[in-house]
Each structure stands twice: as C-alpha cells, then as structure tokens.
Structure 1
Amino acid sequence: MPALSPDEIDRLARKRAGAKLGWFLHAAVYVVVNLTLLAMSRYGWGNRPWSIFPVLGWGLGLALHGLSVFVIGQGSALREHLVRKERERLQREHGGPR
C-alpha cells in the first residue's frame, strides 16, 4: 500500500472517526427509543410484549451498521487484507503492475 500524505491521513482519520461516531449515536438512539417502547409495551398499550419486534429488527440493523463500520469499513484490517489479496491475484493474472 502506498504511503499516505499527512493530508490524506487526516482526511481518512476524520472519515473513520465520523463513521464510528455515527454508529455510537445510532446505538444511543436505539437504546433510548427501545426503552421507551418497552415501557409503553409493558405499562401502556396492550398486554402483550410487542416491543420485542422493533428491538430485534432494529438490533439487526444496528449490528449490520457496526459490522460495516468496525469490521469491513474502509481502512479496516479485513478490508485491507482482501484488497491486497485481490490486487496480488490480478497482478499474477495480468502480468504484474501496469
């Protein structure tokens, strides 16, 4: 991987930090909203625990968001490994760098 200039490092760091901050904000809203829905389900509307459905559905979305930010997001170790392997494979197939 080519060396990055200080400006590129700063831009990438800001982008990654923004993605992580976005996930933490998403998680905070998830907790607040779902605690409210749990209270409404338990003490308000209906006598069945319906709030489990939004908890599970939104929880899946939150988990996928976290996966995209922390595991396979731009600059993650897994993504960089896969890009490097694919680059090496293409260079072998097409006779080296061009």
Structure 2
Amino acid sequence: MEANQFDIEKYNKAKERVKELKGFYGHLASYVVVIPVLIFINLYFSPKHIWFYWPMLGWGTGLFFHAVGVFNIIPFFGKDWDDKKIKEIMEKEKNTKWE
C-alpha cells in the first residue's frame, strides 16, 4: 500500500507542476500578445507621448517573478526551499520540545 501512496503523491506533485507551468505559459502568451497591441495603440494614436513602456515594464517584472517561482531560478523563491525550511523548522521543534 505504501508504494501506491508514493505513486499518488508523485502524481499529485506532477499535476501541480503542470498547473504551474500552464499558468506561467498563459501569462507569457498574454504578455506577448498584449504588449505589441499596446505599442501599436501608443505609436498610432499618440506618437508624441510614449507610454507603452510602463505597462511593459510593470507586467514584465511580474512575469519575471512568476518565472523565478515556477522555474526555481533563485532557490529561496521556490517550493523546494519552502519544503526544506518547513522540514528544518519542524525538526528543530521536535528536538527542542523534549529538552
């Protein structure tokens, strides 16, 4: 039965990972479609006042941090770091309770 539980956990982790990836790629696709539209609108209707870089910069920053979280680019922003830290804290709590 334990092997079956392990398989279920692996499946759930893989399913969660796929959900994270789909979310990121959806976010990226939206950015790639919308930003050129905003550039066109800006340059066509008000070429003397350039503003498209503000949403491009803001949204791009959000997209960057989304990528950092999904692809674990910076270790302490990812789930692995969270899991490791939770286990570490739980282990400390377990060891200090009985002292």
TM-score, normalised via structure 2 length: 0.75
- What SS class does the counterpart of residue 32 from structure 1 fall into? helix
The count of aligned residue pairs is: 91
The structure that is helix-richer by fraction is: 2
Which segments of structure 1 move beyond 2 Å, counting only runs of 4 or more? 63-73
Q: Distance in 1 between matches of 2:96 and 2:64?
A: 37
Q: Distance in 2 between matches of 1:94 and 1:63?
A: 41
Deviations 1:41-65 (A, max 9, x none): 22x1212220011111111222232
- The CA deviation at 1:26 is 0.5
Q: Which has the higher contact order (CA 8 A, sep 6+)?
A: 1
TM-score, normalised via structure 1 length: 0.75
Unaligned runs of 5+ in 2: none
Q: Which residue of 1 aligns with 2:83?
A: 80
The alignment-based identity, stated in percent, is 27
- The CA deviation at 1:30 is 0.6
- What SS class does the counterpart of residue 45 from structure 2 fall into? coil
Q: Distance in 2 between matches of 1:65 and 1:54?
A: 16
CA RMSD between the two structures: 2.2
